[in-house]
Amino acid sequence: MAFNIMTMSRVAAPVTRAERRRILELDHYCCRYCGLDGRASFENALVLSVDSVKPRAHKGKKDPSNLVACCRPCNMIKGTRAYKNFEGAKKHVLAYREELRAAWEGKFIHYAQPSEIAEQEP
Ligand SMILES: [Zn+2]
C-alpha cells in the first residue's frame, strides 16, 4: 500500500512492470477504450499503459478485474474520476475523444470551398 497525499489515504501501490505486461497481454496490447493497437507500430506501443478502471485514489484494487490496457490519451481523458463500471468510463472517454476530434478538425482541417477550387484552376 502507498499513501496518497491528495486524499490523505492509503492506496494500492502502482502497477509493477510484470503486472503491466500481464494486463497488456490479457488485452492483446489494445487500448480497451479506443481500440488503439499497441502492436501496430512503435509509436502506438509507446503510448500504451495500464489503467485502473476504479482509480487507486478511489480505493481501486490492483488486480486484473480492475486493470485494463489503456493508451495515454484515453487515460488522461478518463482522469481520476470514479465511474459506475468500465462501460461508463468507456462511454465518457469515447464521447470526449469525439469532442476533441471535432474541435481539432474545426481548427486544423480546412475543407476547400468550391469558390477556392475554381480560383486555383487556370
Ligand atoms: Zn485509447
Q: Given the C-alpha cell 502492436, which residue does it identify?
A: 39
CA of 118 to the centre of ligand 1 (A): 40
Tell me the three state secondary structure of residue 5. Answer: coil
Q: What are 24-66's pLDDT values in tens digits? A: 999 999 999 999 999 999 999 999 999 999 988 888 888 889 9
- Has residue 118 got a pLDDT over 70? no
- Has residue 121 got a pLDDT over 70? no
Q: Given the C-alpha cell 481539432, which residue does it identify?
A: 104
Helix-strand-coil percent breakdown of the chain, rounded to 5? Answer: 45, 15, 40
pTM of the model: 0.79
DSSP secondary structure letters along 65-96: TTEEEEEHHHHHHHTT---SSHHHHHHHHHHH
CA of 91 to the centre of ligand 1 (A): 12
Predicted local distance difference test score (pLDDT) of residue 119: 62
Q: What are 62-105's pLDDT values in tens digits? A: 888 999 999 999 999 999 888 999 999 999 999 999 999 999 99
Work out the number of other CB atoms within 10 angstroms of the CB of residue 60.
18
